[in-house]
Amino acid sequence: MGPSARENHTALRKGICGISLPDYLHSRYAEIFPAGEIKITTETLKSRLNITDNSVTRTTVLAAHAFEEALDDAGLSREQLTSPNTALIGATTVGGMCLTDELYRDANDKGMNSPFLDSYDCSSVFLYLHKRYKMNGLANTVNTACSSSANAIMYGARLIRLGMVTKAIVGGADSLSKFTINGFNALHILSPEICRPFDSNRQGLNLGEGAAFLVLEKEEDARNKKVYAEVKGYCNTSDAFHSTSLSDDGEGPYAAMMGALVSGQLQASDINLINAHGTATENNDEVETRAMRRVFGEPPVFTSTKSNIGHTLGASGAIEAVYSVFNIINQEVYPSLHFTDIDKNIGLSPATTYGKLPIKHVMSNSFGFGGNCTSLIFSES
Amino acid sequence: MTHMFYIHQTSCISPQQTFYNTAIDDLETPVNNRLHAVEPAYNDMPKNSLRRMGKTARIGIGAAMPLIKQVEGFNGIIIGTGNGGMEDSVIFLKEIIEYNEGLLTPGHFVQSTANALASQLSLASLNRGYNITHVHRGLAFEMAAIDTAMLLRENARNCYLLGGVDEISSYNYKLECLDGWYKKEDISSGGFYSSNTTGTVAGEGAVMLLVNNDKYNAVAKVVNISTLHTIVAMKMQQHLQQFLEQHINTNIDLLLSGENGDSRLLAYYANAENLLKNDIAVARFKHMCGEYPTSSAFALWLACKLISGVPLPAHMLKKGDSKTTYSNILIYNCHKGVQHSFMLVSKTE
Amino acid sequence: MEKTELKLLLKKQIIEFLNLTSLKPEDIKDDEPLFGDGLGLDSIDSLELIVLLQREYGIVIRDPKEGRKILVDVNTMVDYIEQNGTK
């Protein structure tokens, strides 16, 4: 939806959908499955940041763009960025595997002098950022599938809360890849049309790509600075049911949402808005809403921003955190797109129009493969 | 902070005899420059689950099962893995290429996710608590350990399963070979540390630990962990200096060094040795487990054994005299000349 | 191919495809439910069996839900293969 936070915000307000058939993804499925592709080539993305290192992958350059924007927006000085007390916590599921064909060649000994040998794993993305920006603090990479960057945000927040670091730059990145589109197709959960979260006729998810970072610090240190929101509560649980689908009663999502409320010392009734995981798969949307009812009785307003950008996998937690922050600072709800018919198994509908709303607390959910469930709460500060 | 956590139970599948009992005097040596794990019979695995497991998941769960059976439960699962899922990723990739993106089996894709192990562990133990996978390469285990320490500060009475697991995936081996990380000459018959050439030997292993805040009957205490990213040997030295100053009253009696035979990394290890007092013994462990991102977990397992009185095998001792038991062990590991970790492990009071 | 031969072949293929290393063909009864209480397969296995049917027998099943109606036990699978197989 845009190469900057501001453009994303404008697009959300206008209900713009960034999902279409991919132009740059080299896959036969690019003609079949719509995706939230960033319509800029990797080469252009690299040149905009003057990156000439040819080992840098698309995932990494997307991360670098978002990282730069976050640094700029937070006004971090060089001293603060390179302080040993500033941590970098990143997340990705694809890492350098966006280079599907190159990995195949290198791993089967068919390529000599490949520039990517050190770039295929997840940590390569954040090792690159840590080095490029000459950071000296703790660095980490998390991969828990679709909840990855939500968990990265949680890890960073806890490091600060426990006094182990004073600042944490947290976020995630993922790019479209032949690898993931084939994997999700093998699971039969991709939709051949633009996804319809919570809709009765939903047919599955659309993949997406993107990156987002947030700069976190302690309340006391942020006193005289521009503060967007507070990371108020968080919780991670395991559904312990199956590797790719959630249990019928949604125990994992339920426990994650309840745990986030407890950690934020909030009641269910304090939540004004939920940015749902809302992938538009039959299983997720039904189970997530069931779990929402268990927590809230009558759930508050909820939307799925995956209807705008698709499922950005490891980046989704961080991107949706930024969107939740937009909700708070602008006191508004963005329409959940492509919803027309209530699913009788769900009995709820997301918000489908833009509107102003008093918002103090937003809950953002991310549920990953392997039953990894994370719920974060962002609050007005 | 007086401690990060106390270790109560340990389990280890490694290239040495470490699973059924600890028989580390007799050394298993590399074959074709690889140290493959000695795998147990896996009699305890959940029914029909082995079929769905890549090697990382198999040895990880294999190592965890004895711990899962021994306790009533734990509150969460925290795993560090550098390469977990890589083999299945490339198998799935092969299918993509071979079938030209036709209809593919999802099994290997699902198994290729790095958190497959942590999720299978939660299924095997029916654990619905905190579940996470850290994948920061040579510091993946350290990040998992720090996460666990934070959890124990947040939930003082809880108990967690902490693990570090990696496999020698055939594909990863090729990538690392092409990138110059393994020896070109055959190391099987000796010369692991003395060859003075670049590269090392590939290894793998799974270490699982049950940890909590309770010092009573603990096997060992992890006092502190610190990490650093630098290629500059001087910076590494300064960082270690600061770490030692934080523990100036601790009498470190052993440096457990991650020296791995790669001549390019000797400067870092030499710095570590030189910073410690001359009478402190130095032992090495990489010839036992091989090089892999979470090998520091194996070092921690070894430290627990040494602290509880298992004699230090002669083949580990590089310098100094061996003692019957150790009280304060400093583990230093350097991964690919960039990531450094320092762990202080002590006997419980 | 005779029905009994096909059943044996299919059982071998199921074992190999799903990596059921602890089983032999004679361990799978013709009418033993593949899912639920019998063999205890799950949704990922059903997707894998759909791939098996396509690769080995040329049968295309587009909707996994429809597939479950065919993948009840070895008998139903063999019947479907005999009626629809192209290889």
State pLDDT tens for residues A181-225.
Answer: 999 999 999 999 999 999 999 999 999 999 999 999 998 888 778
The ipTM is: 0.97
Q: Is the Cα dihedral B88, B92, B93, B98 positive or negative?
A: positive
- Nearest alpha-carbon partner for B219 in B22, B38, B10: B10
- Return the H-helix or E-strand segment holding B212: strand B205-212
- B48 pLDDT band (50/70/90 cuts)? confident
Distance CA A227, CA A69 (A): 16
Least trusted range by pLDDT, from B155-164, B193-202, B204-213: B193-202
Same fold, B5-212 and B223-346: yes
pLDDT at A112 over 80: no
C-alpha dist (Å) from residue B342 to A89, B228, B289, B335: 20, 9, 18, 12
What is the share, in percent, of chain A residues with pLDDT greater than 90?
88
pLDDT at B301 over 90: yes
- What number of H helices and E strands is found in chain C? 4, 0
List pLDDT tens digits, range A74-111.
999 999 999 999 999 999 999 998 888 888 888 887 66
CA atoms lying within 13 Å on the CB side of residue B72: 1
Q: What pLDDT was estimated at residue C42?
A: 87
Across the interface, do B90 and A104 touch by the CB < 8 Å criterion? yes
What structural domains and CATH numbers belong to chain C?
3-84 (1.10.1200.10)
pLDDT at A370 over 70: yes
Least trusted range by pLDDT, from A173-182, B87-96, B156-165, B197-206: B87-96
Give CA torsion, residues B236, B327, B164, A242, to 10 deg: -140
Q: How near does any CA of chain C get to the CA of B181, in Å?
A: 33
- B327 pLDDT band (50/70/90 cuts)? very high
Q: What pLDDT was estimated at residue B279?
A: 87
Cβ neighbors of B71 (< 8 A, separation 6 or more) are B9, B159, B210
Q: What pLDDT was estimated at residue B1?
A: 61
C-alpha dist (Å) from residue C19 to A239, B195, C49: 25, 42, 12
Nearest to B132 among A106, A142, A185 (CB): A142
Across the interface, do C64 and A244 touch by the CB < 8 Å criterion? no
| A337 torsion bin: left (phi>0), alpha (psi -120 to 50), beta (else) | beta
- Nearest alpha-carbon partner for A95 in A134, A61, A47: A61
Least trusted range by pLDDT, from B136-145, B148-157, B175-184: B175-184
Which entry of A311, A338, A361, A373 is annotated as an active-site residue? A311
Let me know if A122 is a catalytic residue.
Answer: no
C-alpha dist (Å) from residue B196 to B265, B268, B315, B335, C84: 11, 15, 18, 18, 65
Q: Which two tokens stand for residue A213?
A: 């970072």
Quickly list DSSP for A281-308: -HHHHHHHHHHHHHHHSS--EEE-THHH
Best CATH choice for the domain B223-346 from the list 3.90.320.10, 3.40.47.10, 3.40.1160.10, 3.40.50.300: 3.40.47.10
Distance CA B98, CA B100 (A): 5
Distance CA A162, CA B96 (A): 45
Cβ neighbors of A285 (< 8 A, separation 6 or more) are A197, A198, A202, A278, A279, A343, A346
Across the interface, do B101 and A182 touch by the CB < 8 Å criterion? yes
Q: Which two tokens stand for residue C26?
A: 């004679």
Spell out which residues of chain B touch residue A236, defining contact as CB-CB under 8 Å.
Answer: 130-132
Q: What is the CATH number of domain B5-212?
A: 3.40.47.10
Q: What pLDDT was estimated at residue C29?
A: 92
| Nearest-by-CA chain C residue for A241 | C42
Distance CA A106, CA B176 (A): 10
For chain A, the structural domain boundaries read 5-220+228-379
Cβ neighbors of B182 (< 8 A, separation 6 or more) are B33, B173, B176, B199, B200, B201, B202
Contact between residue A201 and residue A338 where contact means Cβ atoms under 8 Å apart: no
Let me know if A361 is a catalytic residue.
Answer: no
Across the interface, do A29 and B101 touch by the CB < 8 Å criterion? yes
Contact between residue C78 and residue C71 where contact means Cβ atoms under 8 Å apart: no
Mean per-residue pLDDT, A22-46? 96
C-alpha dist (Å) from residue B278 to A363, B105, B254: 56, 58, 11
C-alpha dist (Å) from residue A356 to A15, A129, A326, A340, B222: 14, 37, 12, 21, 51
Which entry of A9, A65, A130, A277 is annotated as an active-site residue? A277
Q: What is the mean pLDDT of chain B?
A: 94
The verdict on A108 touching C (C-beta cutoff 8 Å) is: no
Contact between residue C54 and residue B103 where contact means Cβ atoms under 8 Å apart: yes
Q: How near does any CA of chain B get to the CA of C21, in Å?
A: 7
Sheet strands (E) in B230-301: 254-257, 281-284
Let me know if A9 is a catalytic residue.
Answer: no
Q: What pLDDT was estimated at residue A111?
A: 61
Mean per-residue pLDDT, B240-251? 96
Q: What is the mean pLDDT of chain A?
A: 95
The verdict on C62 touching B (C-beta cutoff 8 Å) is: no
CA atoms lying within 13 Å on the CB side of residue A352: 12
Across the interface, do C19 and B107 touch by the CB < 8 Å criterion? yes
Name residue A142's amino acid: V
List pLDDT tens digits, range C67-80.
988 999 999 999 99
The verdict on C20 touching B (C-beta cutoff 8 Å) is: yes
Mean per-residue pLDDT, B211-221? 97
Q: How near does any CA of chain A get to the CA of C2, in Å?
A: 32
Cβ neighbors of C3 (< 8 A, separation 6 or more) are C78, C82
Contact between residue B219 and residue B7 where contact means Cβ atoms under 8 Å apart: yes
What is the share, in percent, of chain B residues with pLDDT greater than 90?
85
Mean per-residue pLDDT, A297-323? 98
Q: What is the largest CA-CA distance in chain C?
A: 31
List of chains touching B (3+ CB pairs within 8 A): A, C
The verdict on A245 touching C (C-beta cutoff 8 Å) is: yes
Least trusted range by pLDDT, from A127-141, B335-349, C21-35: C21-35
Contact between residue B93 and residue B176 where contact means Cβ atoms under 8 Å apart: no
Radius of gyration of chain B (CA): 19
Q: Which two tokens stand for residue A119?
A: 């770039």
Radius of gyration of chain C (CA): 12
- Burial class of A258 by CB neighbour count within 10 A (0 to 12, 13 to 18, 19+): middle
Q: What pLDDT was estimated at residue A160?
A: 97
Distance CA B130, CA B115 (A): 13
For chain B, the structural domain boundaries read 5-212, 223-346
Contact between residue A196 and residue A338 where contact means Cβ atoms under 8 Å apart: yes
pLDDT at B189 over 70: no
- Return the H-helix or E-strand segment holding A213: strand A210-217
Cβ neighbors of B84 (< 8 A, separation 6 or more) are B56, B57, B60, B114, B116, B117, B133, B135, B165, B166, B167
- Nearest alpha-carbon partner for B302 in B291, B288, B319: B288
pLDDT at B121 over 70: yes
Distance CA B1, CA B243 (A): 13
Where b means 16+ CB within 10 Å and e means fewer, B108-145 reads bbbbbbbbbbbbbbbbbbebbbbbbbbbbbbbbbbbbb
* Superfamily of the domain at A5-220+228-379: Thiolase/Chalcone synthase (3.40.47.10)
